[in-house]
Structure 1
Amino acid sequence: MSDMQDPMVAHIEANPAYQALKRKRNGFGWTLTILMLIVYYGFIGLIAFDKEFLAQPIGSGVTTLGIPIAFGVIVFTIAITGLYVRRANSEYDRLTAKILEDAAR
């Protein structure tokens, strides 16, 4: 028996809480994806079109402005991943458990 014919699956898919969870999760995922694309491609755009800006030295050393900006891209990636995991482990898992509990009745 495939999952599509399973009455439990049909019951879950018909649940308004499940539909709300899907909308929330997908909306949040797309928001984070768009933010990541802006940050990453913004950095790549700077590399391609404004090398002089990134090549500016910081202080009297050899480190350029591009290094902390690149580090910022990495930190941003880790931060939004942590944000998604935190929301998934709290809000999304709680809603999923409630949906499964309702479906088991």
Structure 2
Amino acid sequence: MQKDLIEKIKSNPDYQTLVAKRTSFAIVLTIIMLIVYFAFILTIAFDPSLLGTPLSSESVTTVGIPVGIIVIVIAFILTGVYTARANGEFDELANKVKNSIKDN
């Protein structure tokens, strides 16, 4: 019975759509975050003086501080974007799959 249910779910077109959309969206967001993070790390590695430059002539805060904060904020934004889409489109598709399995 359990294997039949699994096969029924896997063969459901809404489930296949859900998996494809969720996977491709997660990959895109992951690539964006990796680009942002590695750009930051590579800048530290190859041009540390750029991030070590003070914001102004009288400031003790360097450019690296706001840039680091921006990296963290981008991570939060991408998490929010994923959560919003997961709570909307992805949950809707998951409910379609559940309902089609219940009906059968």
What TM-score, normalized to structure 1? 0.92
Question: Which position in structure 1 is the counterpart of 2:14?
Answer: 17
The answer as to 2:26 corresponding to 1:29 is yes
Q: Which 4+ residue blocks in structure 1 deviate beyond 2 angstroms?
A: none
Q: How do residues 1-105 of structure 1 correspond to structure 2 at under 5 angstroms?
A: 3=2, 5=3, 7-59=4-56, 60-105=58-103
Give the drift of 1:102.
Answer: 0.8
Give the drift of 1:57.
Answer: 0.8
Percent identity reads 44
Give the drift of 1:66.
Answer: 0.5
Which consecutive residues of structure 2, in runs of 5 or more, have no partner in the other structure?
none
Q: Which whole-Å CA distance do the structure 2 matches of 1:71 and 1:61 have between them?
A: 17
Give the drift of 1:16.
Answer: 1.1
C-alpha deviations, 1:5-62, integer Å up to 9, x for none? Answer: 2x22211110111111100000000011111111111100010001111111112211
Q: Which whole-Å CA distance do the structure 2 matches of 1:101 and 1:20 have between them?
A: 15
Q: Which whole-Å CA distance do the structure 1 matches of 2:17 and 2:80 have between them?
A: 22
Which consecutive residues of structure 1, in runs of 5 or more, have no partner in the other structure?
none
RMSD across aligned positions (CA): 1.1
What TM-score, normalized to structure 2? 0.93
Paired residues, what number? 102
